[in-house]
Structure 1
Amino acid sequence: MDSIDAFGVETKVYGGIPLPNRVETDKLLAFMVTRADPSPGVLARASIKKGDLIFKVKDPLAIVGDTPEALRKTCDFCFATVFPIGGEDTWMTTDGKIENKLQPCTGCAVVYYCNENCRASAWEHHHSRECHSFDTLRQMQYIKAHRGDLHMLSSAKFRLLLRYVLLFPKYKIVYEAFDYCLPGQTNLLLDPHFKNGLYLYLARLTKMIIGTQLDEATLQHILATFGYHASPVALPLVKAHSTCVFMEASSTAMVGICVEPFVSYCAHDCNPNSMLIFEGNELRVRATRNISKDEEITLNRAGDRPDHEFRRQFLKNRHLNCRCCLCNSPLPAPTGYLRLQTLKLCALGTMKAANRIEDIERGIQAILTARFGYGSLHMHKLHEILASAYAVRAEYATALKICLKMFYVIEPLILNMHLEPFPIHVRASTLFRVTCLLESDAIKPPPHIPRLPRNIQVLVPKVSMHLRKKLLNLFPLSFGEDAIAVRLERNALERNMDYLMIGRRHQGLLWRYVPLEESVEEKTVFVNSMNELLAWAGIEKLEERHLV
């Protein structure tokens, strides 16, 4: 039976909980209202399996990311995204179908679309109200003289405010919903730097452009609310056609920000039981491990912050008192000067890291000398940067050794120390890098760069397809069986498997795929070959259960 909730929003009673109509779920959920946090949490009233969809939200309040480059490469409606890597002819997408160039709106030339259907849908949903305002802002002489043509409009939070205010009269999420379920921004509003700073400027600019009846204080409050609880718009990347030039890319792409009140009901945990992922412009929250009956649904709001002190300060600034295993029992990590040096190295981008490989290697050795070992988030981050740096220099063999160490040594160590699974999408990213680098001979490296050793080349056909099959088993747990990326990856893998069933020769080596579950002999060959590969990378022999 439908009703009107406390926010003035029409709701439906579904699975024992009154939900806004935009939220869909087939799970039994309930509000948790007894905890100290002033906002209620979301409780699973029945067990939920790892990989299951907990709930989804159609057309949430979401916007493309913070730079002009992000605006040009991401569709304003479906969030399909293009990633040029290594040149104009090398690119990947989040939907596997768009061309490598998107087309701008013919009115404002600020936002871009992947096709005419998305252009028409966006115009009907929101852009008919935004287009004139964007164009007005671009024509303002002050903005053009002092801020650059797209400087202000490339700010995602500012565009999010404009969109919300423009849609305010008819938007399906009323402001009180945000205000009620997103506590904690009060202290920010009392800060004089906030009252007289950028947020005040943005509030006045919004009133000048739109002419809204909302006063400046309310606009500042909305900005604070959005900034306080904005979630990243993360989409799975399609990599079915990928080779080692793509190895530096993660399994997900951060393409924008989103604010959804119902997501904000979910409590924070640095080691959560669920993750937020988008499928097109649909927000989905999916279980990353088995969730027990009466367990609270949790999400990570701290992002990828390997340093314990930085993460705790970030949470403190947002009035989040996390008591998870990572906060109460942090992993062994560098302190003092060693910590500061490690943080500087962890902040290096891929291209800068390629010129500082020796510094990164010395940093890793310093951590080992201080007896912190490999089982730390700092170590994982440094190895990730180091592998990408070697790949940029086309030293694929060294990059492969590092990625093997990440997947078979560092990540299991972190897992065992907390008895919790390492994030599935991170494991998938690491394994993806391994598969790309194993097949790096498909790309001819420069003459002065050695190829994979011949004894390793011989192992590649014996392990590569089985590792890709393992990778495909990780994707649905993160993104869902119906995700575009998962379907395309599966189709590509099945085509390759069918092609290799009868055996093919490439560079003098026989490639043939036989499923491990169908052949004891094939399983033995795979395990022995993997252990030879690990020994080459300096990793101890592993048992079959850790490899298959």
Structure 2
Amino acid sequence: MAPKLERFVSPGKGNGLRATARIKRGELVYSCEPLACCVSNKLSREVCHHCFTRRETLLRCSQCKTARYCNITCQRQAWSGHKRECKCLRSLLPRIPTDSVRLAARLIFAVLSPSQNSSEELYTLEEHESHLSSVSEQKKQGLSQLASMLELYLQQEAPDLVREMTSLPPSCREPLSLIAKVTCNCFTISDGELQEIGVGLYPSLSLLNHDCRPNCVMVFKGTKLQLRAVRDINPEEELTISYIETLSLTEDGQKQLEDQYHFTCRCQRCDSQDKVRHKYTNYYKCCFSLSDPSDWQTLLESCSRLLSTVGCDVPEENLYKLRVTDMALDASVHLGHWEEAVGYGEKTLPVYRQYYPDPHPVHGVQLMRVGKLQHYLVHIEDALETFKQAYQIIKVTHGDDHPMTTDLLMKMEECRTEMDQHSSS
């Protein structure tokens, strides 16, 4: 099958990707496995280090005591990529390097292993930008500390690596440059609920430029990244994704774009949200005072109090109010307060619809979440309608063969069956 994208020079942006033919809404544009990836440290005991599946019980590598796998099959399949890492992990026990250090080391091992190296990439590791010349001195110091940790981590493999790495381009041999490339270009790997489970480098897709209202979205099946169109795209039109979460507060999003990707977004959406932020500065500060609660009960009480007082004067579409409502939803779910959870969840849906005019996986997952709560509380008709709305989004963003799509179809069928049983009784 002919590729649907190609590399080009995007005016004012540098390198980019564009369509080579007309792409329809919902179409799979590109799919690939990472050059290297690793499970996030905070989830290392919950996620298989090979297939990235969540499981309650996992087999632990008997040597490094860190890597975990679904079964012996996953462990064997992972060994070719884990054997060098395993020696490095053992040398630092009980310390475990940061995700970026582990990913940088895995990149080195992958590039040095011809069997893992892809010849089809549109963008080489050497070409990836490090942006070292434009970062602040403070950030450069932080990157230098990570580079030192990388050198320490690789110490056990150093004698062999020094000889092998002479074949690599200079920018990939130098630890500071490599760490900077990783932090600028890696992707967060997420599960079906869009929760972070790991990080990976997908060289060709590092070419994608940012847009606050992109024409493509990315979803994952295990470690495989799928790029799908959420709007019809014409030939030679640039393909874009959002580097930040659409519902992130403008200040947070702008800071992330500047700190991690080294540019400032000046689109209409960012400007309009800035006005909202200045108008509700006090409310904004109240929201962040809740961000680190001592327990879920405290969080729920604080959110409820804030929504019933200050929140009464703030429109529903205010992003800061939405954040508090979402926090109240999370707390209610953790506490098993299902009726409250449904109430908070249903309040968020019109706002999600407003901020996601194009199909987006975050909107679909929120609908699915609320639908499951409605179903649990036997609000069957409401649940079916919510699942239908979720399906219209998920079938575009995830495709027909994704487990999320299959799960939604099953939920809709359950609702219809229960409604039929109720009407015939």
Distance 1:396 1:252 in 2: 22
The question of 1:437 aligning with 2:373 is answered yes
SS of 2:366 mapped into structure 1: helix
Are the counterparts in 2 of residues 51 and 478 from structure 1 also a CA contact under 8 Å?
yes
> Displacement of 1:107 after TM fit?
2.7
Which structure carries more helix by proportion?
2
SS at match of 1:490: helix
Distance (whole Å) between structure 1 residues aligned to residue 329 and residue 367 of structure 2: 13
Query: Is 1:158 aligned to 2:101, yes or no?
Result: yes
Structure 2 partner of 1:49: 24
Aligned twin of 2:287: 342
2:6 to 30, 33, 44: 30
Structure 2 CA distance for aligned equivalents of residues 433 and 512 of structure 1: 29
Task: Supply the distance in 1 between the matched residues of 2:337 and 2:362 (Cα, whole angstroms).
Answer: 23
Residues 468 and 511 of structure 1, relative CA distance in 2, 3 Å threshold? farther
1:79 aligns with 2:79: no
2:404 to 478, 485, 488: 485
Pairing 1:104–2:60 present: yes
Map residues 288-303 of structure 1 onto 2, 5 A cutoff.
288-303=230-245
Residues in 1 aligned to 2:136 and 2:125: alpha-carbon distance in whole angstroms: 15
**CA distance in 2 between partners of 1:223 and 1:279 (Å):** 26
Q: Matched residue of 1:177: which SS?
A: coil
Map of 1:198 onto structure 2: 145
Distance 1:296 1:58, change over 3 A: same
* Distance in 1 between residues matched to 2:133 and 2:118, nearest whole Å: 21
Q: Residue 383 of structure 2 aligns with which residue?
A: 464
Q: Which residue of structure 2 lines up, in the alignment, with residue 182 of structure 1?
A: 129
The match for 1:324 is 267
Q: Between the two structures, name the one with larger relative contact order (CA 8 Å, sep ≥ 6).
A: 2
Question: How far has the Cα of 1:197 moved from its partner?
Answer: 4.6
Contact 1:271 1:325 in 2 (8 A): no
Which residue of structure 1 lines up, in the alignment, with residue 82 of structure 2? 127
Residue type matched to 1:30 in 2?
A: E
1:259 to 2:201 alignment: yes
Evaluate the alpha carbon distance shift between residue 197 and residue 489 of structure 1 in structure 2; reply closer, same or farther with a 3 A threshold.
Answer: same
How many residues align? The count is 409
| Inter-partner Cα distance in structure 2 for 1:304 and 1:414 | 8
Q: What TM-score results when the alignment is normalised by the length of structure 1?
A: 0.67
Whether the 8 Å CA contact 2:190–2:196 is kept in 1: the answer is: yes
Letter in 1 for 2:365: S
- Percent identical residues: 19
The one-letter code matched in structure 2 to 1:259 is L
The worse-fitting range, judged by mean Cα deviation, of 424-433 and 214-223 is 214-223
Deviation at 1:488, TM superposition (A): 4.2
CA distance in 2, matches of 1:159, 1:223: 10
RMSD of aligned residue pairs (Cα, Å):
3.1
Gaps of at least 5 residues in structure 1 are 1-13, 16-24, 83-99, 139-148, 237-250, 442-456, 505-509, 514-548
1:60 equivalent to 2:35? Answer: yes
| Matched ranges for 1:262-301 at <5 A | 262-301=204-243
Shift of 1:255: 0.5
Letter in 1 for 2:49: D
Q: In structure 1, what residue type is equivalent to 2:71? A: N
Q: Which residue of 1 aligns with 2:306?
A: 363
Determine the C-alpha separation between the residues in 1 that align with 2:212 and 2:86.
39
Mapped contact 2:374–2:383 kept (Cα < 8 A): yes
Q: State the match for 1:378 in structure 2.
A: 320
Q: Is the 8 A contact 2:34 2:202 kept in 1?
A: no
Aligned amino acid, residue 473 of structure 1: Q
Cα separation, 2, equivalents of 1:491 and 1:338? 41
Q: How does 1:226-265 map to 2 (within 5 A)?
A: 226-236=182-192, 251-265=193-207
Q: Is the 8 A contact 2:26 2:230 kept in 1?
A: yes
Question: Kindly tell me: are residues 269 and 196 of structure 1, through their superposed partners in 2, closer, same or farther at Cα, counting changes over 3 Å?
Answer: closer
CA offset at residue 52 of structure 1? 1.6
Local SS of the residue matching 1:256: strand
- 8 Å contact from structure 1 (residues 75, 113) kept in 2: yes
Alpha-carbon distance in 2 for matches of 1:129, 1:356: 44
For the Cα contact (< 8 Å) 1:62–1:257, is it kept in 2? yes
Q: Deviations over 1:70-125 (max 9, x none)?
A: 1111111111113xxxxxxxxxxxxxxxxx3111123322111112221111113x
SS in structure 2 of the partner of residue 121 of structure 1: helix
The answer as to whether partners of 1:76 and 1:111 remain within 8 angstroms in 2 is yes
2:364 maps to a residue whose letter is A
Identify which range, 423-432 or 260-269, moves more after superposition.
423-432
Question: Tell me, what secondary structure is at the counterpart of 1:224?
Answer: helix
The alpha-carbon deviation at position 196 of structure 1 amounts to 8.3
Structure 1 residues 226 and 402, CA gap change in structure 2 (3 angstroms): same
Please report the TM-score for the alignment, with normalisation by the length of structure 2: 0.85
Change (3 A) 1:102 1:34: closer
Per-residue deviation, residues 6-42 of structure 1 (Å, max 9, x unmatched): xxxxxxxx74xxxxxxxxx4x2x2333141223x111
1:218 aligns with 2:143: no
List per-residue Cα deviations over 1:287-332 (Å, max 9, x = no partner): 2333344332112222366221222122122212323332233262
Q: Is the 8 A contact 1:376 1:414 kept in 2?
A: no
2:395 aligns with: 476
Deviations 1:309-360 (A, max 9, x none): 2221221222123233322332623544432222333x346x7353133432
CA contact (8 A) 1:374 1:413 kept: no
User: Distance in 1 between the 2:336 and 2:139 partners?
Assistant: 51
Tell me how far 1:136 sits from its aligned partner. 2.5
Alpha-carbon spacing, 1:61–1:166, altered in 2? closer, same or farther (3 Å):
closer
Q: Is the 8 A contact 1:44 1:294 kept in 2?
A: yes
Superposition deviation, residue 440 in structure 1? 3.4
Aligned AA for 1:343?
F
CA contact (8 A) 2:146 2:179 kept: yes
Instruction: State the shift of 1:500 in Å.
Output: 4.1
The farther-off stretch of 196-205 and 396-405 is 196-205
